[in-house]
Chain A
Amino acid sequence: MIVYIALCDKNGIIDRVIRNIPIGSINEGQNIRDLFEDSEKIDSLLTQTHSYGVSSQLRLKSGKNSFVYITIMTLKDKCLVFIYDIESPDQLTLLTETALSVLNVPEITGNESYESGYYEIQKLNSQLINYQRTLAKTNARLQGLLEEAHAAKCTIEELERDTLTGLYREKIFYDKAHKIISKYAESDFDIIAVDIEQFKIVNDTFGSDSGDRLLMDLAVCLLSIQSDNKVLITRARADTFFALIPREKNIYNNLQKNLNIFIEDYPLPMRLQIKTGIYEITDRTLSVARMCDRALLAADSIKGIFSRKYAFYDNSMQEKLMLEQKIVNTMVESLQRGDFLVYLQPKVDVNTEKIIGAEALIRWNHPEFGMISPGDFIPIFERNSFIYALDMFVWEKSCSILGDWKRKGLCRIPLSVNVSRVDLYHEDLPDTLFSFIQTYDLCPHDLHLEITESAYVKDSVQLLTIIKRLKQKGFIIEMDDFGSGYSSLNTLSELPIDVIKLDLKFIREAENKPRHQKVMQAAINLAKELNLQIIAEGVETKAQAELLKELDCTFAQGYLYGRPVPESEFLKDLKNV
């Protein structure tokens, strides 16, 4: 392709070369006419005025002896000369573009002369490139910052997550939940607490890998409730999960369904119990942490109750908790001050109604709440281990009573005391009890130890060993609450026991139901066969007493024969009998 554009005068002297796609070295000051063979033709083109241009085809002097097109247009006193040729039609566009580029030349468009503006244009062009460069640099920097921010966000997200389950960490959950609750002021939300009962056993028995796996799997199961971005889940403590969920119909049914399936299919040879507590957020001024406490309180309220999988929080739970806290706060002081009292309840021969022994029972005369039922404080003390201190108090008090009776020759009946399952974990228990016996100059069989049935079942070898040691020391062992748990009759013969105390439910159910009576009869017969004494608890009516006689159960305890009373009253009753 050839495109040569130049401005020249009427004589052909080139004033300015605008484009030169290569035709050779023909430059300013030279004559355009020198390019062509036919000087006459080019002369005539140059000398005439062609306001709209005139074209021709001329043979070039130099080079390939070829023809080129020439178009000349007159501009005032100058000529604009186009010399051009193309090899193929697709060069046409480039040719046109190049031709049109002369419009940018000020001398042609009549603007200021090119020379003066040349450096300005160059400067401007460079400046534009420098702007572009600065922009590109800034962009790259922004991109870098963006990536850094993204990385930082990822790190933050990672830090926000519990490494085991990938759920939010507790603190992050609190923050995010608070934001969501505040943001959606019109929506109702619940906080749920999900807790695996006896999770420690999983870790102890199957190893912490299994425990971790269980937590991860449970996390996945819980994520099934994550229906939208308003649902947040955290693993707050070892085996406690909290979730914030917008209140919805059926959500708990679905959750429960999922949890049931989860438990049913879970590949661990252990019956998992998962409790869900729900706090329906009513008081939005509470901190999320407090809301979670409430949900957990609801979950805790059904711990150990097999049939209940979930519970809603209500204010009584909170009150109960407050009460518990007060109990805990005052227990040590109370024990020192002597607020705890030992009451005695008689055990009788049903046929003669003669007192054959008594059970020492604890009572708490609280300076603030008055008399508190053992049912309210014993479980708390069992949880916080204060029970051992309290039981020791009862044991020593009972021994002191027995010693007193012995010295004064008042009576020679044995007293039975409760030994909590928790007490059995104290290795020194047999020695402690024996030291009381010695202190008050008693025989071990003067003191009967009532150990609840569940102790024999739940905790295996270790507890049985302790009970055996107690029996070896000569203490009489009574199995308390027989029938309330799951003790198996065929292992009864192997247990280190002397007495069976039939749970009070037994007699209540047997009263009007012949089938239950049959079961009770069988139990009584079995005990006798095994040479075990049997005492029925909770006898309240004459009819029940009659039934016992009928079933040939010799001994009983219950309101019918006497309520738990202070020692002085007990002695009075004893005299009256």
Chain B
Amino acid sequence: MNYKDIFTRAFSEAAPRRSEADAVREIIEKGKSMKTTRHSVKKIFTCVAAAAAVLIVGGVSVGAATGWDFLGAFDKLFAERAEDASYVSPVDFSKMGKELDESFEGDGYTLNVRGAAASDKTLFLLYDVTFTEEFITENNINKTLIANPVAFLKLGESSSSTNTLYMSEGNTFSYCEMYHCHNSSLSGKTVEVEFRSIDAGNYGIISCDHEFDLKIDFAETDDVHTVELDEAIQTGEDTVILDKIVYDAFSIEFISNGVTPNNHGEIWDTLITGHINKTDGTQIALLSAGGLSDGNTGVGSFIADYTIPVPTEDIASITFGDITIPLT
């Protein structure tokens, strides 16, 4: 059976009805009438950087606040998901995080670490990079949107991260690195963030080379909730047991038993299609964050971010598939 031929023939039947000229005109007119911004947002699951040029090494302490718009940055970060430019988070980031002011000079760029906020499971690290015109010219800067400086969390625990470019203006690109701690907690810990370039490998993207560390202390939080369960989840032909759910204002962690390398992806697909049900009856979708599983023990940890932060007292339950689990 020639599947390529089948899909070629099938989709030759599927085409937009509107004429191309009309469709283009409509978009351009609508686009012009909108209040345009230069911001762009992009979710990146793998970050890259390469090339040995400059090495910066340093351990630094957290600096004082500088008047940079710490809270506004978080609102910008989530405004896209909320589909409302004036979105203001109901979660108080000023209590959960801190404004930072650390700058590092590289060869052709400056990296500014702006602020961080953490719940029990998730850490948001805001930083921006400003490139010089020379660096842009020499390195074909258009590619650097996905070649940001990579930051690694050093907690001695397993973690995963995702990365969002939440704003760009001129030669400055603002990033949010989001870490997710599996089977561990960020509460009351000193987080060591290690900025390192990694090899471009198959991605073939240029960028900066750097190496420096940053320590951030976070106060203990009790705004984390654990629900013990014994819920069977059917994933394809396999059944796994959902042992525990841990949630806070930013994200939710699912801890499962019976996970195999083969059904890891299926479990993730099942959980990520879920949503948080708020006490006011509205729903908050989940975003893919990260999953880790141990092939020997069969224990898997899957963390999903909420599309926008939610105060835990506003969370009523979670639904995925046909299952709804109360979280109160």
- A and B part of one assembly: no
